[in-house]
Amino acid sequence: MNTVIFETEEAIFQFDQKAVMECLEHRKTLYEIKELDLILDFISSQPDQTILSPEEHQYFGFIAIQLIKFGEGSAICKICGKRHHSNQLKAFTVGPGRTTFTAPSATKGGFKRLFRKNPKPIGCSGGDGIKCPEGHMLIFMITWRT
């Protein structure tokens, strides 16, 4: 079986190459991200096993989270040393929400605060992540910032 391995500081993820290629092709039709082509080329050029590092292929973290959410692959938690299949892993939200639309609205007086002489910068970010059944954080990716 051809596999794709993605290793982070916290975990080692393993996916079926066919599922990864399908996910990448689907993302490619939705988004114009050059790194998707690089990852596709790299994976298709490897005969049996592909090892991706987060330093070289940062975008693959988003793919890994999506594949886990769709029930694909497994992960070895480096903290507890156990392999967990995707159905055992837990998705979580980073920050106030997965998208800017799920973030809570501004506090009372927020509108007036925007139009002060010296407004303070308002910054926030959110995203997705995956934890093992023991609660150890395996991966998270920031999907938006304000």
pLDDT in tens, 106-143: 445 555 555 555 555 556 667 888 999 999 999 888 76
**130 DSSP β-pair partners:** 91, 139
Q: What pLDDT was estimated at residue 36?
A: 82
Domain residue ranges in the chain: 3-145
For 23, the token pair is 């996910």
State pTM to two decimals.
Answer: 0.76
Measure Cα distances from 136 to 10, 25, 70 in Å. 8, 30, 20
Phi/psi for 105 (5° steps) reads: -70, 165
pLDDT in tens, 27-84: 887 777 778 888 888 888 877 778 877 777 778 888 899 999 999 999 999 999 999 9
